[in-house]
Structure 1
Amino acid sequence: MSEWQPRTGEFRSGALTLRYVEWGPVDAPPVILLHGLRSYAMTWEPTARFFSEDLRLIALDQRGRGDSDWDPACNYYTQAYVDDLEAMVAHLDIDTFVLMGHSLGGTNALAYAARHPEKIRALVIEDIGPGSSIATEGAKRIVHEIESTPTRFDDWDAARQFWRSKRPTISEQALNSRLDYTLKQNDDGSVVWKYDAEGIGRARIELARRPELGVELWPIVEGISCPTLVVRGEHSDFLPRSTAQEMSRRNPRIAWCEVANAGHYVHDDNAVGFLLALDDFFRKLKAAQAV
């Protein structure tokens, strides 16, 4: 099988069966990829294909998304996601790795790194920082989107129009991917969500009402002990530029960059800019660790 072709696997985390996708040589340095709130493992396919010659890239369908089980208890909070990641790392018997996460996945990556600093060679955090999930216009936007999201669409055209209205800057390739992996068609021709939209949405709204259910990120940011890149979209409403700057000021191990022509969904909005930022970081990481 070509290293460009994805391989799938699954493992148990508590009572749930979770699925992951991987690309690249199995003996190459591993990179684990964590998607955002309403996303899925295959959102990382363009990223994984770009780096699959030299790296082993492993993308998790986090609980309730993609082909992973939904949680009957609707436990869609950081502690549960970190437990799932621990189970996958144990299942794959990975010693150390680079960990990358977007939005919710970035929070989960930071929380895991705080618990297991010995495991993390480097971190990449895409468009999230302390306060992002509570005190930004992007946080308000996401809650509004969740509250106003239909449970079904009459057809695929209606579903496409919905996602395009919510992601006006998304590339056509990324939009097609989102349609493929977040929705499915019923026998009557209607289109419904493939992921646990109700349970995940309810947990996200509860977090907005009760911030204490979340994770305080400033102490984690200040305690990071590995090289870290924070990637911000130029037009992000979720990670203020001032927050990215403050993260870097408080911890000299953190570098940050801004990708032009991108909002909160950086890797969907400007894949080329995102990949160039990652490639530069990985090259510097490789050079530093070769010394």
Structure 2
Amino acid sequence: MSTHVRETWIRSEGLNLRCVEWGDIAAPAIVALHGLRSFAHTWEPVALPLADRYRFIALDQRGRGHSDWDPQRRYFTEHYLRDLQALVDELRLDRFILLGHSMGGATAFVHAAANPQRLHGLVIEDMGPGASASSAGAERIRRELQATPDRFAGWAEAQAFWRAQRPGVSEAALSARVRHSMKADADGSVVWRHDAAGIAAARLAATPQQLVDLWPHVDALTVPTLLLRGACSDFLARDTAQAMAQRNPCIRLAEVADASHYVHDDNLPGFEAPLHAFLADLDVAARPRRLP
């Protein structure tokens, strides 16, 4: 298992965006896109067991992690798609496997439907049509964004906040979330590493067009797709997930027990089992060509 981590940078729409990589640079690539308030290192426990066979690339999406904040607050799918294309172009990826959670899953659906020739496969974690607009989970996230403090008195208070927000998350995932999504300010308080105000403003004011109707993209998929739903998710309804798999035979649905919307944080072994089986079935043995 390769645990060596590399940091690379790409540029998109005037922003410097950080990529975190595990594994051999010549191995088949997996590109991973995190959710609304997450960060590249959320994928570390998923990446490490795969790093002996894959080049696992996780993006700190604009406004998150160590990537630049967008002064224009362009935190919408059309801009995330441009960032993903910049990553593909700058890292010179030919074909790859695309993995996305929640917000990252929306980007992944749209990219996969438009670029099937570039993908070996698609993995979606708890995202589907209508989830961002009208689900109970979407309403919960809107309440959380409105009620999130700008800063905390110290690390213990910050950790308690995240524990209240994510009661089912593992201790390891909670520790990573505090470490990678927050930082100490000069006055000793703890503040957000991501653009909390800008991301909240964009999300709360998003139009239906900016949230994107995913049904046309789901219906258009022609690549092998694994849809992972948390059995306790309030975001992706079971009926919607089942309808997605029924409407498009390219989609394989797996429900992960004891997991909410934050599937790999809540039940990593339950997430890994169907993921590793799907990757084995793809059998991406040939090393990818670099684009000229």
Rate the CA distance shift 1:27–1:11 in 2: closer, same or farther, 3 A.
same
Is 1:92 matched up with 2:115?
no
- What residue number does 1:68 align with? 67
Q: Helix, strand or coil: the match of 1:134? A: helix
Alpha-carbon shift at residue 288 of structure 1 (Å): 11
Q: Helix, strand or coil: the match of 1:237? A: coil
Q: Helix, strand or coil: the match of 1:140? A: helix
Alpha-carbon shift at residue 8 of structure 1 (Å): 0.4
- Aligned pair partner of 2:273 in 266, 271, 276: 276
Rate the CA distance shift 1:287–1:66 in 2: closer, same or farther, 3 A.
closer
Q: Helix, strand or coil: the match of 1:121? A: strand
Q: Helix, strand or coil: the match of 1:213? A: helix
Alpha-carbon shift at residue 287 of structure 1 (Å): 8.3
Q: Helix, strand or coil: the match of 2:194? A: coil
- Aligned pair partner of 2:238 in 229, 237, 241: 241
Q: Distance in 2 between matches of 1:110 and 1:144?
A: 26
Q: Distance in 2 between matches of 1:140 and 1:229?
A: 26
Q: Which runs of 5+ in 2 are unaligned?
A: 287-292
Alpha-carbon shift at residue 115 of structure 1 (Å): 2.5
Alpha-carbon shift at residue 149 of structure 1 (Å): 0.2
Q: Helix, strand or coil: the match of 1:21? A: strand
Alpha-carbon shift at residue 216 of structure 1 (Å): 1.2
Query: Per-residue CA shift, 1:90-132, capped at 9, x if unaligned?
Result: 0000001000000000001111112222111100000010000
Query: Per-residue CA shift, 1:141-195, capped at 9, x if unaligned?
Result: 0000000000000011110110000000000000000001110011221100000
- Aligned pair partner of 1:267 in 257, 264, 267: 264
Is 1:252 matched up with 2:246?
no
Q: Distance in 2 between matches of 1:35 and 1:144?
A: 20
Query: How many aligned positions are there?
Result: 286
- What residue number does 2:117 align with? 118
Alpha-carbon shift at residue 26 of structure 1 (Å): 0.9
Q: Which runs of 5+ in 1 are unaligned?
A: none
Calculate the TM-score normalised by the size of structure 1.
0.96
Query: Per-residue CA shift, 1:234-258, capped at 9, x if unaligned?
Result: 1000001111100000000001001
- Aligned pair partner of 2:219 in 219, 222, 241: 222
- What residue number does 2:191 align with? 192
Let me know the Cα RMSD of the aligned residues. 1.3
Rate the CA distance shift 1:287–1:192 in 2: closer, same or farther, 3 A.
closer
- What residue number does 2:178 align with? 179
Is 1:102 matched up with 2:101?
yes
- What residue number does 1:147 align with? 146
- 1:215 corresponds to which letter in structure 2? V
Q: Distance in 2 between matches of 1:51 and 1:286?
A: 13
Query: Per-residue CA shift, 1:25-61, capped at 9, x if unaligned?
Result: 1111100000000000000000000110101100000
- What residue number does 2:12 align with? 13
Runs of 4+ in 1 over 6 A off after TM superposition: none
Which protein, 1 or 2, shows the higher relative CO under an 8 Å CA cutoff with sep ≥ 6? 2
Q: Distance in 2 between matches of 1:227 and 1:288?
A: 16
Q: Distance in 2 between matches of 1:85 and 1:213?
A: 17
- What residue number does 2:289 align with? none
- 1:66 corresponds to which letter in structure 2? G
Rate the CA distance shift 1:245–1:5 in 2: closer, same or farther, 3 A.
same
Calculate the TM-score normalised by the size of structure 2.
0.96
Q: Distance in 2 between matches of 1:288 and 1:66?
A: 32
- Aligned pair partner of 2:209 in 206, 209, 212: 212
Q: Helix, strand or coil: the match of 1:69? A: coil
- 1:233 corresponds to which letter in structure 2? G
Q: Distance in 2 between matches of 1:125 and 1:26?
A: 23
- What residue number does 1:30 align with? 29
Q: Helix, strand or coil: the match of 2:236? A: coil
Q: Distance in 2 between matches of 1:40 and 1:11?
A: 16
Q: Distance in 2 between matches of 1:89 and 1:283?
A: 23
Rate the CA distance shift 1:287–1:16 in 2: closer, same or farther, 3 A.
closer
- 1:47 corresponds to which letter in structure 2? V
- 1:89 corresponds to which letter in structure 2? V
Q: Helix, strand or coil: the match of 1:184? A: strand
